[in-house]
Chain A
Amino acid sequence: MSAENTADVRAGGAPLIEFRNVTRTFTTGKSSSVTAVDDVSFSVAPGEVYGVIGFSGAGKSTLIRLINGLERPTSGTITVLGREISRLSESKLRHVRSRIGMVFQQFNLFQSRNVAGNVAYPLKVAGWSKAERELRVQELLEFVGLADKAKAYPEQLSGGQKQRVGIARALAAKPDILLADESTSALDPSTTGEVLRLLRRANEELGITIVAITHEMEVIRSIADRVAVMDKGKIVEEGHVYDIFSNPRDHGEITFVGSALKDRPTAEDLSRIRQHTSGRLVTVSLKDSATVGAVLGSAAEHGVTFEIVHGGMNTTKNASFGLLTLALEGESQAVQQFVDSLKAAGPVQEVREGQEAQK
């Protein structure tokens, strides 16, 4: 029955996961409570990689655990694979869970089972026969590049290898959704890349929808299509990774994205910059870097000189983005004209010193 629902959802292109006004409050004492997830609504389409990023304690883990019913909402509705899981009993929930794989920060491998045994466990739960299980385990270990480690036990593996086993185990029962809670936070940068590539392949080759939770911008940048920024239980920004990272927003808040990317000058940066220039400071988005480059090349024609005082480029799953802060000197009229032509090439934000400076 859950299989039929899954098929319907996919055919209709309806969201695979949908949160409507979901709140989760924990009682922490007689009269105290923590609202870990606060009136959150979002949806994830089939085949999408949805990233959730935020500071520690923002409620990310609680959010992801609500998706497979490890945590129940205090209010609101959660629909996953066409079923309203917030109303399902624990035993009905098991059917939905078997369609959702989960990868953990601390890997959570069974110490009492070897690699093959770990990967085979969800298959046993799903009732696969021994012969089917053996074939599938072999296939998965090849997918994650650990075919030679089938007989090894978790303590004999490196962190990256453990997480690859974790991913193989999560993918074993051919789930529709993969949940990754800080799947790379316990790994070093090179191993992180290895695990992220694997997640990306799972999405691209197997068509699995992924929800990835992280506090590392790197993870969002390299695998996510869309991203939600969480802060104190709420989703404060949401959109395509490319847009969120490349638009200088004007509301002047210290956003997670801004502070993580260090893409705009801080107050200290500004005072240092001001020591050697008095020009007009603007931040330009490199959404279309070729056009911006062309405009910069024409600076002399405008009678304007510019200096790059801050910024850089970053690469997402399928595009590059970045912000450049420029100090422009020349006739104020000429500078204004130059800024107008920059605006034609991409969003431009005035750097307002003192109040606007980012932490």
Chain B
Amino acid sequence: MIDTYRNLDWDYYGPELIDALWETIHMVMVAFAISAWIGLTLGLLLYTTRAGGLLANAAVFWTVNFLVNTIRPIPFIILIAALQPVTIQLLGTGIGNTAVIHAMVWASSFGIARIVEQNLVTIDPGVVEAARAMGASRLRIIFTVILPEAFGPLILGFTFVIIAMIDMSALAGIVGGGGLGNFAIVEGYQRFRPEVTWLAVAAVIVMVHLLQILGNLGARKVLRR
């Protein structure tokens, strides 16, 4: 097996693999940079507008909740196809990495919304009550109590989402995008070269492990445990 890899045409596969890796990282980073904010906002809305919440508002809660429940279960491959008309309207093109990033933003924003909501509901309502009793405004409470109190679990939640996004980005090849998924299918699977496919697998595994280690370190630092 070692020989298989020693004899591989590294001059060709090496740069290809690195390009694919960068494309994956690029897609995930751009999509996450956008969806993190949208998801955080939606998650905060879900948490604060629920009955008994700081900004309790049944109409807003119901709308956001409905949106999240509608979009989140759509399988990503179907979402890419279904969103294509919107993608073309919005970005002028329906294919390539940009189109995939667009679909990833939709899928992950609503996923993040749920994760944020789930982490926020575990905050002790007592600390929110304490801040209210001190005369803090609702916005101040959201930014200086609720988010800091949930910061540790949020880091872990976001780590989980980024890893799920690496998974999504693997489907980019469908609409002419690149990245590790495309590399594995085009260079490996379709050319009957499993050892090339496994290069992509190895790259993904290393990336996921590194991310999880970083996430755990960050959460541990914030949670002090």
Contacts and interface: CB of A to CB of B under 8 A. Distances in A.
A95 interface: yes
Interface stretch (B24-32, B75-83, B143-151, B160-168): B143-151
Interface in B136-178: 136-138, 140, 144-145, 148-149, 151
B135 A126 contact: yes
Interface centre among B133, B140, B144, B149 (most CB of A within 10 A): B133
A112 B128 CA distance: 13
B127 A97 contact: no
A31 interface: no
A155 B152 CA distance: 15
Given A110-B145, A112-B149, A104 B126 contact: yes
A336 B201 CA distance: 101
A108 B224 contact: no
Instruction: Give the secondary structure class of B's interface.
Output: helix
Contacts of B129: 70, 104, 108
B67 interface: no
A113 B149 CA distance: 9
Interface string A86-120: 00001101111110111010111111110000000
Contacts of B135: 93-98, 122, 125-126
B2 interface: no
Contact of A70 (B133, B144, B151): B133
Contacts of A173: 134
A153 interface: yes
Nearest to B222: A112
Nearest to B145: A110
Interface residues of B, number: 22
Interface string B202-225: 000000000000000000001011
B224 A155 contact: yes
A181 to B, nearest CB: 10
A98 B136 CA distance: 8
A97 B132 contact: yes
Interface string A152-166: 010100000000000
A108 B137 contact: no
Task: Indicate the member of A107, A112, A124 with the most B CB atoms within 10 Å.
Answer: A112
A358 interface: no
Nearest to A118: B130
A102 B149 contact: no
Given A111-B149, A112-B148, A112-B149, A121 B126 contact: no
B131 interface: yes
Interface in A42-77: 68, 70
B56 to A, nearest CB: 12
A110 B148 contact: yes
Contact of B127 (A70, A91, A111, A155): A111
Contacts of A155: 224-225
Interface in A174-202: 179
Q: How large is the interface on A (under 10, 10 to 19, 20 to 34, 35 or more residues)?
A: 20 to 34
Contacts of B225: 155
A108 B134 contact: no
Contacts of B224: 153, 155
Contacts of A153: 224
Contacts of B131: 121, 125
Contacts of B132: 70, 97
B126 A106 contact: yes
Nearest to A100: B133
Contacts of A104: 126, 129-130
Contacts of A98: 134-135
B137 A91 contact: yes
Contacts of B127: 108-111
A108 B132 CA distance: 12
A117 to B, nearest CB: 10
A68 B135 CA distance: 9
A188 B8 CA distance: 71
Interface in B94-143: 124, 126-127, 129-138, 140
A109 B123 CA distance: 12
A104 B126 CA distance: 8
A91 B132 CA distance: 11
Contacts of B137: 91, 94
A96 B132 CA distance: 11
Contacts of B151: 112
Given A112-B151, A122-B135, 4 more contacts: A106-B126, A110-B127, A125-B131, A125-B140
Closest 8 CB pairs of A and B: A98-B135, A97-B135, A108-B126, A112-B148, A108-B130, A102-B133, A94-B135, A122-B134
Interface of B: 124, 126-127, 129-138, 140, 144-145, 148-149, 151, 222, 224-225
8 contacts: A96-B135, A97-B135, A102-B130, A108-B127, A108-B129, A110-B149, A111-B127, A121-B131
